[in-house]
Amino acid sequence: ISKIGVYTSGGDAPGMNAAIRAVVRVGIAQKLEVFGIHSGYIGMVDNIIQPLQLRDMANVIQRGGTILKTARSTEFMKPEGRAKAAANLKAAGIDALVCIGGDGSFRGAHALWEEHQIPVVGVPGTIDNDIYGSDKTIGFDTAVNTALEAIDRIRDTAASHDRLFIVEVMGRNSGFIASHVGLAGGAEEIFTPDGLTTVEKAIDHIKEGIARGKTSSILITAEGQKPGRAYDLADSIRKKSGMDAKVSILGHQQRGGSPTAADRILASRMGAAAVDSLLKGQCDIMIGTEGERLVTVPLDLVTKTEKKTQIDLISLANLLAT
Ligand code: ATP
């Protein structure tokens, strides 16, 4: 291979820029030409492709978001859209791709390989950490720390006013952010889409705490399929116990901000490994982590397998919040 393309797709995540930087700089060090494809599959279909140089990567490692922009493309979901994208790549002489994104983006990458034999290596970038085959995804550590900072502030006001707070964190259908933030933030109860706890259990837990002299509590909830479910939870607690809960929905601030050291390091290692894999002739795989080690996992397996929330973190948080 002599020309590779890199793109970010799906939701943005802090650390994506560090991954792009690693792909560009390792690629150029290996005598490859590197092209940036803008706005994920939209840029691939609409041919918004530009060469990237070493200096284009100056001052990006610390920036949140993605300098290549990201988007969702409905056209790419159809075979005709993918054929158009493949024709654009071939016309630009691009031999192989690095896709930084979530499982939807990898489904697209896998289709591109199957239908048009364009080699793709995936790098998992999403704050949700819900990608099978990698213990950690780029952006997760930053999002957890951002949410934690907010929760620490909420804890100050909750403790001063003797209040019950429900804090909704991101994570869609996965409970990774909620379980990590809940344990690290000393939450009294953590609601995740796994349905491990119930409103009744939470009320009992809070009442037991009050009996022991506790005056404030924080419950964490993952947004689930329906953002705003923290309000439903507050209603339900009010109806069942008469307790009044304040609601705080952290929202998109969790997606932005400067990536943590851990995310910059992870992104740099994964971006570099993705280029190395392509040079070794590997493709249709994702770079993942198993503990500290980098591993490769077939994209098909990544997209077809569900990653389970670490339930042990939730039960430990429960045990510790006494
Ligand atoms: P995040 O987890 O942050 O949302 P994601 O990569 O899962 O990231 P999606 O919106 O699911 O985000 O996917 C990004 C893009 O990948 C879609 O807009 C679409 O263009 C493409 N894509 C998703 N699924 C498929 C598929 N089955 N076939 C082809 N392309 C797909």
**Residue 113 CB–ligand 1 contact under 6 Å:** no
Query: Of 165-179, 194-208, 213-227, where does mean pLDDT reach its minimum?
Result: 213-227
- State the closest ligand 1 atom to the C-alpha of 74, by its place in the atom list counted from 1: 20
Q: What percent of the chain has pLDDT over 90?
A: 88
* CA separation for the pair 149, 188 (Å, rounded): 17
Identify whether 232 is a catalytic site residue: no
**Residue 9 CB–ligand 1 contact under 6 Å:** yes
Token pair for 162: 């003797």
* CA separation for the pair 249, 169 (Å, rounded): 7
> How many angstroms does the Cα of residue 101 sit away from the middle of ligand 1?
8
Identity of the residue numbered 207: K
* CA separation for the pair 79, 145 (Å, rounded): 40
> How many angstroms does the Cα of residue 246 sit away from the middle of ligand 1?
35
* pTM for this prediction: 0.96
Structure confidence by residue, pLDDT tens digits, 278-304:
999 999 999 999 999 999 999 999 999
> How many angstroms does the Cα of residue 239 sit away from the middle of ligand 1?
40
**Residue 105 CB–ligand 1 contact under 6 Å:** yes
- State the closest ligand 1 atom to the C-alpha of 125, by its place in the atom list counted from 1: 3
Structure confidence by residue, pLDDT tens digits, 89-101:
999 999 999 999 9
Token pair for 232: 């439903």
**217 neighbors 254 (Cβ within 8 angstroms):** no
ipTM of the complex: 0.97
pLDDT exceeds cutoff 60 at 48: yes
pLDDT reported for residue 229:
83
- State the closest ligand 1 atom to the C-alpha of 106, by its place in the atom list counted from 1: 6
Token pair for 255: 């997606």
* CA separation for the pair 72, 49 (Å, rounded): 17
Q: What is the mean pLDDT of residues 178-183?
A: 96
- Kindly give, in sequence order, each residue whose CB lies less than 8 Å from that of residue 213, ignoring residues fewer than 6 positions away: none
